[in-house]
């Protein structure tokens, strides 16, 4: 400023220009609904969660005065796990009050309750039995509480977009609550959080108890890890390795979409996978996950998979997966991208972060190919069909599933590997699948604020690579034709070779299972000799060529060992209490054991593409 008078004059102008007269309140304007949820676990040994839902100021939004009632519903599935789970089956003791007085409430559908009132304030109370420890369900016992929103909370269609508050009241002996929600307060044994909308409430799992926690920063974002279960681990090493994975994944998209992020990790006797959320994930692994290098790397693969979902699925997604219909199946033919591309990146991230050597990464790819090529269902179901039928097939496998289905995870991962190689080849190493993911993230999530269609996925791949992919999609995505793998691997100087021994025992095609002192047929491979001759799942295996079986899988395998292709054997079984004998002629073993070998004289271009592919430059 030149002088004090100029300064004073400028300040007067700013004061008057910023003045706005107060607007008169609109007497007709409806108040915003106030939504409050509370979950309590006062007796965790009973496995019940007590849920309160308080609503006020909701009459206008729900047309309450006209109808005289409000309908509240519970989701029947949770995003990321494509199965109708019927969470309402665990609800008990449903009641409603208004202004301290009971009001009539009744169940009107499997997952919906009607509360009869014209009052603009109502409190709903109920209990939920929670004793299924998975990443998709809720669980409470004397050691901790794990809560998934879809299995606990009610919603009204007209209120889903309004903000809410969530209060968690843990068991009196528990001191910690971990959840990826903005905190409001924590006092007197209760923890209160802001919730932007119902979608985020469903998408924010809660861990309550006395679990360990540690923190680290990756890509400028604070991360918290909540560790449930008795487990020995090196916190410094684990935090450093988490950081490598998180920063490698962030580098693919060029930005991190969160202000903070939470890992909830359950260490259980069996483990169990993971489930992605908008600002967090839940991982289940076994108690010895960090004990060996192999198990530790397996855990890091799970971390990479669920973390990559932070972008792919939670933000970049097939168009059918949001806004969510919580009451019905949400069908898409693109789970092979949503889960398959993510499965591809779980190992591609580990390679780039230095956890896989180049040789180890090639073994991973070969193992993925063996997995689908040794599956009869790969010739029966396309990966697009597998995606669409996830709701009725993937989560409901039976003894014939290997013959009739293919996993959109496994085959999607293989197809992603091939598309990545195709992009490298067609652009002389200038582009890869990362460029497709970045383009789609920016175009559909950030710019158009919607999901992508099947055709838009294909177009993005074609645009990035500069070549049409009609044959690829017709044959390998929507069809079940055999894949010409070497057409994809030769540009990087590799060939896929079947390493299965040319001298093999004759093949029967039976998967034996031993339990309770009985040896039974657990599975029969499509088109195998056992399939053709009528051996059934459930048959008790008694003898081969009049030699009594000892009732163990090892003994069964020993009885078959050394028998040549073409030999006829007699299999004695007990079927439903009747003894039957089946003559079966052993066939040729159809199983492959692929490996990736270098070509004998790679060109300079092959060497260059190989190094770019595996980030060796």
Contact 233, 290 (CB under 8 A): yes
Six-digit token string for 167? 């209060």
Q: Which of 3.30.2010.30, 1.10.3720.10, 3.40.50.10070, 2.60.40.1930 would CATH assign to domain 211-292?
A: 3.30.2010.30
Q: Which 3-state string (H, E, C) describes 599-613? A: CCCCCHHHHHHHHHH
How does strand 494-498 pair with strand 594-598? antiparallel
The first and second tokens of residue 194, run together, are: 């802001």
How many Å apart are CA 458 and CA 336, to the nearest integer? Answer: 13
Q: Which helix (H) or strand (E) holds 583?
A: strand 578-585
How far apart, in whole angstroms, are the C-alpha atoms of residue 437 and residue 440? 5
Contacts of residue 595, Cβ cutoff 8 Å, sequence gap at least 6: 363, 366, 496, 497, 499
Query: For residue 332, is pLDDT > 60?
Result: yes
User: Which of residues 10 and 364 earns the better pLDDT score?
Assistant: 364
Closest CA to 233 of 271, 286, 303: 286
Residue 318, helix vs strand vs coil: strand
- What CATH number should be reported for the domain whose range is 34-206? 2.60.40.3650
Residue 113: strand pairing partners: 72, 107
Is the predicted pLDDT of residue 4 greater than 80, yes or no?
no
Do 252 and 437 contact (CB within 8 A), yes or no? yes
Residue 401 confidence (pLDDT) above 60: yes
| CATH of 311-494+600-617 given 2.60.120.260, 1.10.390.10, 3.40.50.720, 1.10.443.10 | 1.10.390.10
pLDDT of res. 358: 98
Please tell me the distance from the alpha carbon of residue 52 to that of residue 72, in angstroms, as a whole number. Answer: 13
Q: What is the pLDDT of residue 501?
A: 83
* Cα–Cα nearest to 488, from 596, 361, 410: 596
Average of pLDDT values for 391-405?
97
User: In this structure, is the dihedral angle defined by the CA atoms of residues 53, 55, 59 and 60, taken in order, positive or negative?
Assistant: negative
**In whole angstroms, what separates CA 228 from the centre of its chain?**
20
Q: Say how far apart CA 119 and CA 65 lie, in whole Å.
A: 8
- What's the rounded mean pLDDT across residues 2-27? 37
Burial environment of residue 421 by CB neighbours within 10 A (0 to 12, 13 to 18, 19 or more) = buried
- For the chain, count helices (H), then strands (E): 19, 28
**Contact present, 206 and 315 (Cβ < 8 Å):** no
How far is 105 from 587, CA to CA, in rounded Å?
65
> Looking at residue 12, what is its pLDDT?
31
Strand 206-209, strand 212-218: pairing: unpaired
- Residues 437 and 312: beta-carbon distance below 8 Å: yes
Structural domain boundaries in the chain = 34-206, 211-292, 311-494+600-617, 510-585
Q: What is the pLDDT of residues 232-265, one digit of tens each?
A: 999 999 999 999 999 999 999 999 999 999 999 9
pTM of the entire predicted model? 0.93
pLDDT tens-place string over residues 264-291: 999 999 878 999 999 999 999 999 999 9
- Rg of the chain over Cα atoms, rounded to whole angstroms, equals 29
Yes or no: say if 520 and 576 are a contact pair by the CB < 8 Å rule.
no
CATH of domain 510-585: 2.30.42.10
Give me the pLDDT at residue 14, please.
Answer: 34
Are the CB atoms for 127 and 92 separated by under 8 Å?
A: yes
pLDDT, averaged across the chain: 94
Long-range contacts of 194-200 (CB under 8 A, 24+ apart): 194/163, 194/165, 195/37, 195/163, 195/164, 195/165, 195/166, 196/163, 197/160, 197/161, 197/162, 197/163, 197/164, 198/153, 198/155, 198/159, 198/160, 198/161, 198/164, 199/160, 199/323, 199/324, 200/278
> For position 31, what pLDDT does the model report?
72
- Does the pLDDT of residue 541 top 90, yes or no? yes
Tens of pLDDT, residue by residue over 445-496, are 999 999 999 999 999 999 999 999 999 999 999 999 999 999 999 999 999 9
Integer Cα distance of 334 and 70 in angstroms: 36
Q: Which pLDDT score is estimated for 29? A: 56
The backbone torsions φ and ψ at residue 378, rounded to the nearest 5 degrees and listed phi first, read: -60, -25
pLDDT for residue 596 is more than 80:
yes
Dist. CA 153–CA 476, nearest whole Å: 41
The model's pLDDT over 94-146, given as tens digits with 9 standing for 90+, comes to 999 998 999 999 999 999 999 999 999 999 999 999 999 999 999 999 999 99
CA pseudo-torsion sign 142, 144, 150, 152: positive
Q: Which has the higher per-residue pLDDT, 19 or 357?
A: 357
Average pLDDT over residues 584-606: 97
- Specify the DSSP element, H or E, that contains 531: helix 529-533
In this structure, are residues 64 and 120 in contact, taking their beta carbons and an 8 Å threshold? Answer: yes
The percent of residues in the chain predicted with pLDDT above 70, rounded, is 95
Backbone angles phi, psi at 350, to 5 degrees: -65, -35
CA dist 302 and 345 (Å) reads 11
pLDDT digit string, tens, across residues 342-382: 999 999 999 999 999 999 999 999 999 999 999 999 999 99
Closest CA to 485 of 347, 372, 611: 372
């Amino acid at each position: 400023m030149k002088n004090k008078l100029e300064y004073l004059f400028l300040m007067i102008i700013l004061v008057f220009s910023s003045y706005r007269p107060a607007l008169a309140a609109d007497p007709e304007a409806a108040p915003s609904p106030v939504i409050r949820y509370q979950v309590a676990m006062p007796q965790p040994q009973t496995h019940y969660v007590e849920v309160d839902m308080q609503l006020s100021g909701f009459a206008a939004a729900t047309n309450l005065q006209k109808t005289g009632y409000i309908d509240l519903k519970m989701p029947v599935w949770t995003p990321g796990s494509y199965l109708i789970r019927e969470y309402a089956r665990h609800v008990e003791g449903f009641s409603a009050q208004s202004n301290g007085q009971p009001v009539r409430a009744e169940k009107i559908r499997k997952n919906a309750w009607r509360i009869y009132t014209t009052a603009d304030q109502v409190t709903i109370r109920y209990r939920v039995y929670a004793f299924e420890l998975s990443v998709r369900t809720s669980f409470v016992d004397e050691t901790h509480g794990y809560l998934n929103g879809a299995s606990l909370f009610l919603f009204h269609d007209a209120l889903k977009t309004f903000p809410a508050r969530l209060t968690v009241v843990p068991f009196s002996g528990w001191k910690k609550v971990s959840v990826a929600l903005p905190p409001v307060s924590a006092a007197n044994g209760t923890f209160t959080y802001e919730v932007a909308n119902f979608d985020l409430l469903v998408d924010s799992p809660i861990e309550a108890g006395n679990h360990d926690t540690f923190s680290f920063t990756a890509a400028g974002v604070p991360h918290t890890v909540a560790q449930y279960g008795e487990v020995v681990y090196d916190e410094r090493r684990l935090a450093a390795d988490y950081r490598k994975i998180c920063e490698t994944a962030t580098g693919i998209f060029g930005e991190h979409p969160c202000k903070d992020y939470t890992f909830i990790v359950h260490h259980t006797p069996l483990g169990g996978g993971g489930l992605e959320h908008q600002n967090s994930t839940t991982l289940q692994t076994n108690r010895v996950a960090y004990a060996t290098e192999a198990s530790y790397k397996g855990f890091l693969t799970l971390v990479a998979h669920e973390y990559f979902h932070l972008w792919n699925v939670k933000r970049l997604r097939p168009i059918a997966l949001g806004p969510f219909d919580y009451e019905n199946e949400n069908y898409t033919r693109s789970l092979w991208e949503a889960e398959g591309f993510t499965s591809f990146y779980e190992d591609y991230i580990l390679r780039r972060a230095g956890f896989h050597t180049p040789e180890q990464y090639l073994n991973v790819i070969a193992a993925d190919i063996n997995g689908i090529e040794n599956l009869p269902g790969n010739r029966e179901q396309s990966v697009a069909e597998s995606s669409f039928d996830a709701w009725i097939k993937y989560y409901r496998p039976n003894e014939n599933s290997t013959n009739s289905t293919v996993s959109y995870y496994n085959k999607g991962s293989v197809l992603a590997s091939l598309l990545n190689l195709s992009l490298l080849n067609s652009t002389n190493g200038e582009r890869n699948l990362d460029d497709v993911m970045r383009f789609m993230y920016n175009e559909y999530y950030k710019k158009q604020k919607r999901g992508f269609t099947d055709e838009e996925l294909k177009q993005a791949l074609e645009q990035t690579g500069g070549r049409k992919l009609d044959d690829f999609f017709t044959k390998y995505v929507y069809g079940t034709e055999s894949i010409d793998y070497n057409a994809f691997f030769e540009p990087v100087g590799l060939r896929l070779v079947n390493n299965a021994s040319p001298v093999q025992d004759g093949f029967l095609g039976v998967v034996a299972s031993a339990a309770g002192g009985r040896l039974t047929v657990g599975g029969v491979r499509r088109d195998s000799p056992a399939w053709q001759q009528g051996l059934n799942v459930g048959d008790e295996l008694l003898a081969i060529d009049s030699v009594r079986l000892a009732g163990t899988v090892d003994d069964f395998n020993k009885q078959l060992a050394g028998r040549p292709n073409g030999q006829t054997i007699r299999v004695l079984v007990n079927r439903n209490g009747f003894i039957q004998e089946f003559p079966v002629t052993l066939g040729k073993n159809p199983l492959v054991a692929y490996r990736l070998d270098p070509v004998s004289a790679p060109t300079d271009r092959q060497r260059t593409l190989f190094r770019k592919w595996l980030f060796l430059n």
